[in-house]
Amino acid sequence: MGENTLFALRDTNPPANIPIHQMNANQVLDGLVDVDKARAFCDARKARLLARFAELREPGRAGTDLADGAPEEVALELAMNPHTAAIHISQARDLVTRLPATTDALEAGEIDYVRAKAMNDLTSVLTEDQARRVESKVLAFGKRANPSRFRQSIRYHVIAVDPSAAERLRRTAKADRDVTGRDLSDGMGQLAITLEPHEAQAAYDQINMLANKVKTPDKTLAQCRADVFMDLVLGKNNERLRVNLNVTVPMSTLLGLTRLPGEISGYGPITAEYASELARDAMWRRVITDDHGQVLEVSRRRYASAALARHIRLRDRTCRQPGCGRSADRSEIDHTVRYADGGVTSADNTNALCRKHNLMRERSDWDMTQPLPGTLVFSTPAHRVHTTTPEPYEPAPF
């Protein structure tokens, strides 16, 4: 079947296999509905599989929600972050065990995963019996016109079945208020602030008012809001922070002969211009790679153990547990063959693991070997073997 062909998933007559470019409007719309239902079926199936896996990996320690290493097993198979895998497993288990009617409706294509997740999240403060009463009331009227209306229906029935539940949910959400940051792919960073609605609105109105006062023709209002925020947080006369960087960058870029990208350890590629800007306020360290981008040497400025740790962090780049994206700069350097078992402290017997996955290795049946420097072989509790190597730095394109 060609990639421009949609296989009809419903029992329709005529044909079950129609090239997309030959479809009329009604057939296209029917096809979209079919695909949506098929996706819902797969989402329900995935939830049931994850819930079953959680049963097979019961927690070995009191107070834990999942067995050590269980999310990592799923993360390996699905090529995702272990933290994300843990969230998926927990959500799937809750959905399947607490809300069987919602899971059945998802499997039948009567609702989609967005609505199923909303049912799971918004009924989390209820008892199992109350949650099932809510799902019965909400599902009786189908998926509604859009997810927002579906969520409003859930909220209404949550309040109806337990008037104090909404307040408990609000208080729980208030306790989770936070400021988080993440890197963006365009060389920028983003802060997300979670507040109570009135606080968020008041803060935005204040920033917007100040931004309008300092607005100039050469700046957009959005840029002014960002500048005002920084002034409020750091003060108008804040000193530029000194940056210590582990940077790999071609010498030709440093000399201004080319504009090949550099890379900041823990962040990733940066433009030549950005690297030059940071260089004015940074302490630089030499890193030599081979033609394939693998680290060969890191300049030494202190005693050997510090140089080795620096070498491993630059070589491994992140925690080496497959799927974990925590920077090696924020990870621990430990022995592959444990020091207590005779392991030596060398580049071919040390690696970066974040604290969580270092502890997981001690508490679970995961095993790890390093047959070659940087090459780690993981063996899971299910006896699946995965071989990994450090992500190489991008070699110069010539």
Residue 261: asked if its preceding bond is cis (omega within 30°), the reply is no
Bridge partners (DSSP) listed for residue 18: 6
What tens digit of pLDDT does each residue of 15-52 get? 557 889 998 888 888 899 999 999 999 999 999 999 99
d(C-alpha 69, C-alpha 353), whole Å? 14
Alpha-helix runs per DSSP H in the chain? 25-56, 70-78, 82-98, 100-107, 113-122, 128-139, 147-161, 165-175, 197-214, 221-234, 251-254, 272-279, 304-316, 355-363
d(C-alpha 146, C-alpha 150), whole Å? 7
- Count of C-beta atoms within a 10 Å radius of residue 311: 21
- DSSP class of residue 318 equals B
- The DSSP element (H or E) to which 337 belongs, if any, is none
- The DSSP element (H or E) to which 384 belongs, if any, is none
The token pair that represents 248 in the structure block: 């790999």
| 276-293 mean pLDDT | 57
Classify the C-alpha dihedral 147-152-158-164 as positive or negative.
positive
How does residue 284 score in pLDDT terms, banded at 50, 70 and 90?
Answer: low
Q: What is the pLDDT of residue 9?
A: 44
Q: For 53, what's the count of Cα atoms within 13 Å in the CB-facing half-sphere?
A: 25
Q: What is the pLDDT of residue 155?
A: 81
The token pair that represents 211 in the structure block: 């931004």
Measured torsion, CA atoms of residues 301, 306, 307, 309, in degrees rounded to the nearest 10: -150
Q: What is the pLDDT of residue 3?
A: 38
Q: What is the pLDDT of residue 222?
A: 95
d(C-alpha 78, C-alpha 365), whole Å? 20
d(C-alpha 372, C-alpha 375), whole Å? 5
% pLDDT > 90, the chain:
35
Classify the C-alpha dihedral 250-254-260-264 as positive or negative.
positive
d(C-alpha 206, C-alpha 200), whole Å? 10
How does residue 187 score in pLDDT terms, banded at 50, 70 and 90?
Answer: confident
Measured torsion, CA atoms of residues 157, 102, 197, 234, in degrees rounded to the nearest 10: 160
Q: Indicate whether 376 pLDDT > 90.
A: yes
What tens digit of pLDDT does each residue of 335-368 get? 888 877 877 777 888 899 999 998 888 888 899 9
Nearest to residue 314, comparing CAs of 397, 368, 249?
249
Nearest to residue 105, comparing CAs of 68, 138, 130, 128?
138
d(C-alpha 362, C-alpha 342), whole Å? 16
CB 262 within 8 A of CB 272: yes
Q: What is the pLDDT of residue 330?
A: 85
What tens digit of pLDDT does each residue of 131-182 get? 999 999 999 988 887 888 898 888 888 888 887 777 777 788 889 999 998 8
CB 44 within 8 A of CB 107: yes
Alpha-helix runs per DSSP H in 235-290? 251-254, 272-279
The token pair that represents 312 in the structure block: 């491993």
Nearest to residue 39, comparing CAs of 130, 108, 134, 117?
108
CB 9 within 8 A of CB 17: no
